[in-house]
Structure 1
Amino acid sequence: MSITKINQPLYSIFRKGLARNPGGRAFTIGGDSATYAETDAAALRLAGGLAGRGHTAVGVLAPRGRTAYVGILAGLYAGLTVVPLNPGFPRARTLAMARAAGVSVLVADGPADELGLPAAGGGPPLAERLPVRAGDVLYVLFTSGSTGTPKGVPITHGNLSSYFSWAERRFGFAQDDVFSQTFDLTFDCAMFDLFCAWGAGAHVRDVPPHAYRDLPGYLAAHGVTVWFSTPGAIGAVRRAGGLIPGSMPGLRWSLFAGEALKCADAAAWQAAAPAATLENLYGPTELTITISAHRWTPGSPALGVNGLAPIGAVNDGHDHLLLDEHGRPAGAEGELWITGPQLTPGYLDPAHGHGRFVERDGRLWYNTGDRARRTASGELVYLGRADAQVQVRGWRVETAEIDHAVRGLRGVEDAVTVGVDNGDTAELVVFYTGLQQAPAEMARGLRETLPDGIVPRHYRHFAALPMNGNRKTDRAYLRNLAGAVLRGEA
């Protein structure tokens, strides 16, 4: 791919959908919707007020909806870097992100001056979309590391051009598709929904929280054909009684990403949506949007480890390595490193990239921090986070192994195990859902499958595991709660 020009800027994907379906609905959020032609006209007016004013980055401080969607397109049309910001985040955190990304103007649902930045205003419609190069930064997303400090991840036009070219070849979405949107705009999977739909001239529909009370009914009422969410949504549908065989017959695609997909959940969802092709997509923000894919088949459970579905083969044009803790090739199992055109050039603050972005054999590689196993077919199986290995009374423990064992207990639906340092060893705290049981009874059951030395001593029951804004299990909250459990404060 050329470093000076690019064949498919992200805005050209929307323009493709505009040409195919100008009078069709581009999005619906609650009671608000707009056609492709209306969205394009609004974005051109806003872009006219952004271009040529010395701005390099525009912040979009709005939830999913008209303001955000038009703001994203306007920033792209004006050749600016777009920085999605969550209105629900603390002001200090949002301001730190905006400053780190060089935001000088805001598109906001509320008062922009809360951050001390001017609000974007409209102008004469932009006559011509500004050209972009592959290395230009298209948007900046923020991901928190182990310290919780937001790390800015710049994503280039070249990164996204490569990704959406792959997605177009793999999925073949159609104009009559209706896409769910479950992700917050600060999560890059939201861009998959928008631009895969818009490239096909299809319709994006927001999925509000109350829809999970009867998701099959919601999907049927609105003709949703493409579902994309974190696997956590499967549990929500199950608890509401919606995950029954044949309950979602209208889905053509069922896509999951953002956290590990359990084989049992994949099988149950597939039974509920039997006409859909189900895929498990994997990829950190640094390798936007997803970097590997596994197409679920009846044989998929046999490939999984600890009850987790395979993550598949890396996308075309990318290479991967499995390395041991010393950075040496580890054969068929090790820490997963990936390089290729979807890889961001590095964090906004290079100091955040130490140990993650590494030059090797003349190429930049990203250490995902995930452990994987390569099967004979070349597909990858997720084993767990490298930093989720803990030392418990002399045993080297994979918390994913504990999770899998707990889920095998009678009456347990889901489980997350957290290791907390307790001096010379780590203590394991299990958070689980389903039938509440006495800790001694659970420990007794686990001793049938686990060595006694790694059987957890601490168990806490939840009606449902806590979720963050993107419906992923809130592991940061559970880590803090586990510490409180050991200190006797919870």
Structure 2
Amino acid sequence: MNNGTTSSPPAPRRLIELVESAAARHPEAVALETPGEAPLTYRELMAAVDRLAHHIVAQHGPVPSRIGLIGTKCARTYAAYLAVLKLGATVVPVSHAAPAGRLRAIAEAADLSLVLTDNTAGPAAALAEGSRCRTVGIPDLDHAPGGDGFSRPADAPAPQRTAYILFTSGSTGRPKGVPVSHANALSFVTHNIARYRAGPGDRMSQNFDFAFDVSVFDLFVAWGSGATLVAPSAQDLMHPVRWVNSTALTHWTSVPSAVTTALGLGELTPGCMPSLRMSLFLGEQLTVEQAEAWHAATPGGELENVYGPTELTVYVSAYRLPERTEEWPATANRTVPIGHVYPHLESVVVTEGREADEGELCVRGPQRFDGYLDPKDNAGRFLTSGDAGFVPLTAGVPGPADWYRTGDLVRRDPEGMLTHLGRLDSQVKIRGHRVEPAEIEGALRRHEELTDAVVLAVEGRVGSLDLVAYYTGGDVTSRDLRGHLSALLPSYMIPRRFTRLDAFPLNGNGKIDRRALARPSDQSGEASS
């Protein structure tokens, strides 16, 4: 019986269902543009996903619960990402620029038996040599075997199943796996589709590596809304203004250092990017000077500073700057506030176990992950609250009521506005990547000529942070040290400068005095560039 009402389609329970829904609504809209390749409509993209799903099954047989993905920004890699999700597996993106040692560490931690790659002769070959992983090349989309209309497995995962696992830098010297569920990701993505009014006709940048969590925003806010995802080439990233104008981008997302790059090239002039309607910056503190320059370059566009760690599913707060610069808030450190935490999440600022106006930001809610891949990494990373205040959770599995400790020092004003003041621990952001200096120190100590090493993040010449290394032991050249680290760490973790010392300065407690090392007078040494 028809009562005159139309039932709404069921809400997506998995990321792939969100994309399929958009593709059904906008089959002929352009879904993806990649460098040097023909654009793909949503109909063409989803047909390619079906064919790749067939290919994976044909090549591997039973689908493993987790599948690694190593690829560049080509159509094959994007389609393979979705094909893994369609198969009901967890996708584990690994940077194509990661050295072999890191690849093997991630493959072991994630227990990977299958890795998809767009280049079987590249990093994946080194991975296959040193692990039990089997690598399968992603075929050209026009030649992928199998038919269209692939059906997902009958036992497709529930929303609480893991959608993807990303690996962050770990203080123990090994990467930490962060599993994010479909429910976590959908909570984030659906909120941001509405927040940024994304839809057909919008053209959204995809500046980030698949192994960097912001790629989840890029891919699924675009593909969940019917917008076009536009990927740059390496050359495009060196000239952001030129790329924005040549592709008529409407939405931009990047780290603030992109502003510094454009300024250094003399390309960021007032009114130079009229197509941009929304620009988001994250990963580093956004300075007022950077914001002013980008704001002037995007007449009529809006600019936001957003914040969040991988464990809370990309980001959890945002601050949209007023159109008139004279109305911008003044902060003591001349950075743009990170705004208010999303309304569907809860947050608290904690100092010494009590709520305060300044302290560590802690968050809970549907975007909070359920704990690290290795449960040992959970110790101390969550707070439980009760009559005794906020107490670190030292054992067991975190429950929904527990708070994730971001490790970020913030100040909250009476209206709930947050300003980021820095890290509570030694973890830093380098060009948007989260870095534990201890991991670099551990890699340096593996050099046979070095006795000890200390790595610091110091203010660079252009306002961003630079890594500098100090070491004791043999008189090794920076070229040698850079080559040593390049075999172990991603490029963004290679220090800019190396300095040999006869001994490290010590404080009154007999510990290495890192503050003394960080003084400008001590920052001599050979640059690694």
TM bin, normalised by shorter chain, reads: 0.7 to 0.9
Superposed CA RMSD: 3.2
2:35 paired with 1:30: yes
**Which consecutive residues of structure 2, in runs of 5 or more, have no partner in the other structure?**
1-9, 139-144, 387-398, 430-436, 442-453, 464-485, 500-513
- Structure 1: how far apart are the matches of 2:90 and 2:46? 18
Give me the TM-score of the superposition, normalised by structure 1.
0.78
Superposed CA offset, 1:195-233 (max 9, x none): 111122221112233235543332222111111101110
Alignment of 1:2-41 (within 5 A): 7-32=12-37, 33-41=39-47
Pick one of 252, 257, 276 that aligns with 2:282. Answer: 257
Alignment of 1:95-114 (within 5 A): 95-111=104-120, 112=124, 114=126
Letter aligned with residue 110 of structure 1:
N
Deviates more, 1:473-482 or 1:178-187: 473-482
Number of positions where the alignment pairs a residue of Structure 1 with one of Structure 2: 418
Residues 6 and 133, structure 1, Cα contact 8 Å, conserved in 2 = no
2:190 paired with 1:190: no
- Structure 1: how far apart are the matches of 2:524 and 2:320? 45
Q: Percent of aligned pairs with the same residue?
A: 36
Residues 357 and 365, structure 1, Cα contact 8 Å, conserved in 2 = yes
- Structure 1: how far apart are the matches of 2:91 and 2:409? 32
- Partner of 2:403, secondary structure, is strand
Pick one of 410, 413, 434 that aligns with 1:372. Answer: 410
- Structure 1: how far apart are the matches of 2:167 and 2:335? 27
Letter aligned with residue 87 of structure 1:
H
Alignment match, 1:129? 152
- Partner of 2:253, secondary structure, is strand
- Structure 1: how far apart are the matches of 2:354 and 2:266? 48
Superposed CA offset, 1:349-383 (max 9, x none): 11122211233356121111111111122111111
- Structure 1 residues 293 and 227: alpha-carbon distance in aligned structure 2, compared to 1, 3 A threshold: same
Alignment match, 1:448? none
Alignment of 1:62-101 (within 5 A): 62-101=71-110
- Structure 1 residues 114 and 430: alpha-carbon distance in aligned structure 2, compared to 1, 3 A threshold: closer
Alignment of 1:292-371 (within 5 A): 292-297=317-322, 298=325, 301-324=328-351, 326-329=352-355, 331-361=356-386, 363-371=401-409
Alignment match, 1:432? 460
**Which consecutive residues of structure 1, in runs of 5 or more, have no partner in the other structure?**
390-398, 401-417, 436-467
- Structure 1: how far apart are the matches of 2:303 and 2:20? 28
- Structure 1: how far apart are the matches of 2:165 and 2:211? 9
- Structure 1: how far apart are the matches of 2:298 and 2:235? 20
- Structure 1: how far apart are the matches of 2:491 and 2:407? 18
- Partner of 2:159, secondary structure, is coil
- Structure 2: how far apart are the matches of 1:17 and 1:181? 18
Alignment match, 1:237? 262
Alignment of 1:387-398 (within 5 A): 387=425
- Structure 1: how far apart are the matches of 2:406 and 2:327? 23
- Structure 1 residues 365 and 6: alpha-carbon distance in aligned structure 2, compared to 1, 3 A threshold: farther
- Partner of 1:197, secondary structure, is helix
- Partner of 1:185, secondary structure, is coil
- Partner of 2:495, secondary structure, is helix
Alignment match, 1:440? none
Alignment match, 1:395? none
- Structure 1: how far apart are the matches of 2:157 and 2:238? 44
2:495 paired with 1:477: yes
Superposed CA offset, 1:21-78 (max 9, x none): 3233222221113222222112112223445714111111112222221111001101
Letter aligned with residue 108 of structure 1:
T
Give the C-alpha shift of residue 265 in structure 1.
0.8
- Structure 2: how far apart are the matches of 1:379 and 1:37? 43
Give me the TM-score of the superposition, normalised by structure 2.
0.72
- Structure 1: how far apart are the matches of 2:216 and 2:208? 9
